Amino acid sequence: MADVRPESMERITTPELAKAFIDEQVEAVKKQVGDKKVLLALSGGVDSSVVAALLIKAIGKNLVCVHVNHGLLRKGEPEQVIEVFKNQMDANLIYIDATDRFLDKLAGVAEPEKKRKIIGEEFIRVFEEEARKLQDVDFLAQGTIYPDILESGPVKAHHNVGGLPEDIHFEGLVEPIKLLFKDEVRVIGRELGLPTGMVERQPFPGPGLGVRCTGAITRDRLEALRESDAILREEFAKAGLEGKVWQYFTIVPDYKSVGVKNGLRSFEWPCIIRAVNTKDAMTATIEEIPYSLLAKIVSRITSEVPGINRVLYDLTPKPTGTIEWE
């Protein structure tokens, strides 16, 4: 498949068009790989999940999915990947909990770019090790989508965790959705039967919660981040904001302040809420969240999450802020 989307290619907006695309790609993949094995790093994000579901349809157990948990995923994510792909779709899924390995490597590292580099490199190492153990995989599948091809420049370079294992030779790449835009990938995902929560998932950086646990990551602060993020997502979903706000998450910085909890002095971290809207992530505006919802989230986070005694709402658009804090 060429890397340029033909002008004549119809935008996939309906289940019928999605079905036709899926049938076409299933045939193309079968033709490309025959009875050989294909390896896929399955993060659980929209793109890799759609590729996984498509390839399971095409080649079944000859697709080997590797889900690496780097310990920086959101609450419930590895469980969802296992439930959807292993339990429901009966995929050939290898789950690797590499949490300790990543967190040990990251211990004491405060510099944001260094953290990203460690996470990215370690991810490739873990993936390579698995690939080497498997030996007889000939193809590598990737969830490349059209904007990745259009935007692959210096800005995006640091954004991609993973990428190609460096010293393993594959006969070829399988990239069935590389000419699609994100909205089309979601239509395909729905048609393939993936759960709505997975198909509509908000963008999540490759280095995951690592960029939101600012400074040197510690396990207790990472846990506070994961729990506060889960509460935020739950309350946004209940308020019908899921799918309406482009990206929302919490940050737990490496800083403590004095507060009062249960009548006693506390010395704990703040939690910062960020909820932004954007078209292309180059600029972003702040979502106006109803005050009552914010108050509820503040109350839940400060009472349910150990280690947090304050909650702040970041009102800064991009520019001057970036969307993430690191």
Tell me which residues touch ligand XMP (CB under 6 A).
Answer: 116, 158-159, 203, 205-207, 211, 247, 281, 318, 322-324
Alpha-carbon distance of 25 to 42, in angstroms, equals 19
* Phi, psi torsion values for 256, nearest 5 degrees: -120, 150
Distances from the Cα of 157 to the Cαs of 34, 160, 326, in angstroms?
Answer: 33, 6, 15
Task: Give the gyration radius of the chain's Cα atoms.
Answer: 21
Cβ neighbours of residue 126 closer than 8 Å, sequence gap 6 or more: 68, 70, 96, 98, 101
- Taking the least distance from each CB to ligand XMP, the nearer of 44 and 307 is 44
Minimum distance, C-beta of residue 272 to ligand XMP, in the bound complex (Å): 14
Bond before 196 cis per omega within 30 degrees: no
- Taking the least distance from each CB to ligand XMP, the nearer of 21 and 204 is 204
Minimum distance, C-beta of residue 120 to ligand XMP, in the bound complex (Å): 8
Minimum distance, C-beta of residue 232 to ligand XMP, in the bound complex (Å): 15
- Taking the least distance from each CB to ligand XMP, the nearer of 139 and 204 is 204
- Taking the least distance from each CB to ligand XMP, the nearer of 165 and 210 is 210
Minimum distance, C-beta of residue 116 to ligand XMP, in the bound complex (Å): 6
- Taking the least distance from each CB to ligand XMP, the nearer of 125 and 159 is 159
Minimum distance, C-beta of residue 247 to ligand XMP, in the bound complex (Å): 5
Minimum distance, C-beta of residue 158 to ligand XMP, in the bound complex (Å): 6
**Alpha-helical segments (H) within the chain:** 15-33, 46-59, 77-81, 99-106, 112-134, 146-151, 154-157, 182-191, 196-199, 219-238, 291-304
Give the closest residue to 170 by CA, choosing from 40, 298, 61.
40
- Taking the least distance from each CB to ligand XMP, the nearer of 246 and 298 is 246
Q: Are 215 and 107 in contact (CB under 8 A)?
A: no
- Taking the least distance from each CB to ligand XMP, the nearer of 22 and 68 is 68
Minimum distance, C-beta of residue 115 to ligand XMP, in the bound complex (Å): 10
- Taking the least distance from each CB to ligand XMP, the nearer of 76 and 163 is 163
Strand partners, 248: 275
Minimum distance, C-beta of residue 46 to ligand XMP, in the bound complex (Å): 12
Q: What is the largest CA-CA distance in the chain?
A: 69
Alpha-carbon distance of 21 to 307, in angstroms, equals 49
